[in-house]
Structure 1
């Protein structure tokens, strides 16, 4: 039995006490539960992840900025279109009202031609009405001596050859509101000064040719 006991492994004791019985100090442990501390990740991986995250954020920011710019441009175009449509509607309404008053202006022109607007309260009313309509944008056209324009004038009679037509007589004034022609002017067309001068010179030239032929004979 003594030989058998001598061949057994020796018994060892591990002192797990946290306080040293001799010194009374707390013992330091290398690691919790005997596990070794894990090594810290390499510094290069963290920098690469930060760079990738920055690229992702930068791309998303650029995309959101482009969307915002596109929405801003669309809204600006929408506001301009609405403002243009609103102005066109207002101008159309004004032109409609002014067109209804053209007959009144014709009556005032006839009264002025007969001398009925030389003095009195009617003259004041006529002047205020014309001034108010002109302030809104009404313009009259068509007067004697102006070049004939078929887009503005309607010729009801014509005298002369018609090479340089001008307005000879105005039978009814024309009116426009901004760029819109409300009514064409009724006019009589005649030849311009250049055509009249050319016509006047022709007999003199023909007489000179006749005299030259006579002298040659």
Structure 2
């Protein structure tokens, strides 16, 4: 052992430092690091993407469910439409029935009033036949006749009318060579109708052909 060796044993061993004087580009190093970090593992994208068969099956199921729901909505709409049409028809029939009943009730009321006035009209007819319908009484009679006519009262029964058992009441019969069918030859009391309703038949004498 030399003196130099003894001297080294007594002192601390110096650290060896290796210096690399090659130039390193920081940008290239950063890009390399990012590329390493961003590179996905092999097969990762395959695991994330669903299989083609499974996606088609899900889409078909969704379309089927949507079609069933749409069909149910259409059926419900048709049912509600039919209900509305039925209610509308029933309401229209109800209104027609109410209007018809109202008109009938009004006609019946008018008929009752006019029937009560028929004896007065008979007196006016007799006064007219005897020439007594003059002066103020004539004006009153004409006004009453006009009012009853506006209410729908129609008079019938004239000498020479064909006899109609539905409209005439025969109180006398005789035969005559001057007629070819049953004919009213005398009117004792005229008849009245209200619209198509017969209020009172005409009282007549009838001549039958020989």
- Give the TM-score taking structure 2 as reference length: 0.71
Name the SS of the counterpart of 1:157 in structure 2. Answer: strand
CA shift for structure 1 position 41: 4.3
Task: Show the counterpart of 1:151.
Answer: 166
Name the SS of the counterpart of 1:145 in structure 2. Answer: coil
Within 2, Cα distance between the matches of 1:177 and 1:116?
28
CA displacement, residues 80-108 of structure 1 (integer Å, 9 cap, x when unaligned):
11111111000000000000000110111
| 1:178 matched to 2:179 | no
Count the aligned residue pairs.
167
Name the SS of the counterpart of 1:159 in structure 2. Answer: strand
Task: Show the counterpart of 2:10.
Answer: none
CA shift for structure 1 position 123: 1.0
Structure with max Cα Rg: 2
Task: Show the counterpart of 1:130.
Answer: 145
Within 2, Cα distance between the matches of 1:28 and 1:60?
56
The unaligned stretches of length 5 or more in structure 1 are 1-21, 31-35, 200-217
The unaligned stretches of length 5 or more in structure 2 are 1-32, 42-46
Q: Which has the higher contact order (CA 8 A, sep 6+)?
A: 2
Within 2, Cα distance between the matches of 1:80 and 1:57?
35
Task: Show the counterpart of 1:203.
Answer: none
Task: Show the counterpart of 2:157.
Answer: 142
Within 1, Cα distance between the matches of 2:204 and 2:190?
8
Within 1, Cα distance between the matches of 2:131 and 2:68?
91
Q: Which runs of 4+ in 1 moved over 6 A?
A: 26-30
Name the SS of the counterpart of 1:57 in structure 2. Answer: helix
CA displacement, residues 12-60 of structure 1 (integer Å, 9 cap, x when unaligned):
xxxxxxxxxx77xx97999xxxxx6584743222222221111111111
What is the root-mean-square deviation of aligned Cα atoms in Å?
A: 2.6
Within 1, Cα distance between the matches of 2:38 and 2:100?
88
Within 1, Cα distance between the matches of 2:207 and 2:163?
9
Alignment of 1:75-86 (within 5 A): 75-86=91-102
Within 1, Cα distance between the matches of 2:147 and 2:194?
13
CA shift for structure 1 position 67: 0.6
Residues 89, 171 of structure 1: alpha-carbon distance in 2 compared, 3 angstrom cutoff:
same
Task: Show the counterpart of 1:165.
Answer: 182
Within 2, Cα distance between the matches of 1:73 and 1:28?
75
